[in-house]
Structure 1
C-alpha cells in the first residue's frame, strides 16, 4: 500500500510511504534567504517534520541526495548537514550541483525506513 502526504501544491506529495520505506523531498520554506547555510538548515528541519509525519526520524535515513545551485557554497551546506545529521547513523549522501528554481538554492531528497 502507498500512503501519500499532501504537499503545498496539488500535484506534489510532501512524503510517500510504501510499506516501511519513506521518501521525502524538502526545500526551505518561504520566505527564502539567499544563504546556503540558512536554506540548508530550514530544508533539513522540513526533512525532520516529514519523517516524523511518516513515523520515522533522521536516524533511519538510508540515503540522501542534496542538490545545490552553487558547488562553491558546498561547505556552507556541509556545515548545516554536520550539525543536523545523526552521527551514530550517518546515511549515504551525494551532493550534486544543478540549476534550481530561484530563490531556492538547495533541495534535499531522502529515503528512510520507518
Structure 2
C-alpha cells in the first residue's frame, strides 16, 4: 500500500504531497502580487524551497519544474531570476508556457515534482 502524506492542506488542495519517495507540489503563486515578475519569481521559488524543507527534502531532489507565465514577454526577466536560483542546484527538467492564470495579479505559477 502506498504511503501518502499531505502537507499544508486546505479545503481545496494540499501544497505538497509525498507518496512513498515521490514529491509533488501544487501550483505555487506569489504572495507579493503587487510586485513585478522579478519579485514574484523570487517569492515563488522561496516558497518552493520552504516546502521542500518542510518534507525533509532539498532543492537537489527536484526532478521537474513546470512554469506558467501570464505574459511570455516576461520570459527573459523570469529566466534571470530562475537561472541564478537553479545555478546552485542540480538542474531539473523544465517546461515553461504562457497561460491565463487564476488572477490577473499572478504573473507566474510554478509546480515541481521530485524524489525523496
TM-score w.r.t. structure 1 length?
0.91
In structure 1, what is the equivalent of residue 111 of structure 2? 109
When the two structures are aligned, how many residues end up with a matched partner? 112
Tell me the alpha carbon deviations over residues 62-99 of structure 1, each in whole angstroms, 9 at most, x when there is no partner: 00100010001111111111111154510010001000
Q: RMSD of aligned C-alpha atoms? A: 1.4
CA distance in 2, matches of 1:88, 1:43: 16
CA distance in 2, matches of 1:84, 1:33: 22
**Structure 1 residues without counterparts, runs of 5 or longer:** none
**Structure 2 residues without counterparts, runs of 5 or longer:** none
TM-score w.r.t. structure 2 length?
0.89
In structure 2, what is the equivalent of residue 4 of structure 1? 6
Superposed structure 1 runs of 4+ greater than 2 Å apart: none
Tell me the alpha carbon deviations over residues 25-84 of structure 1, each in whole angstroms, 9 at most, x when there is no partner: 31111x412411110000000000111111111111100100010001111111111111
In structure 2, what is the equivalent of residue 84 of structure 1? 85
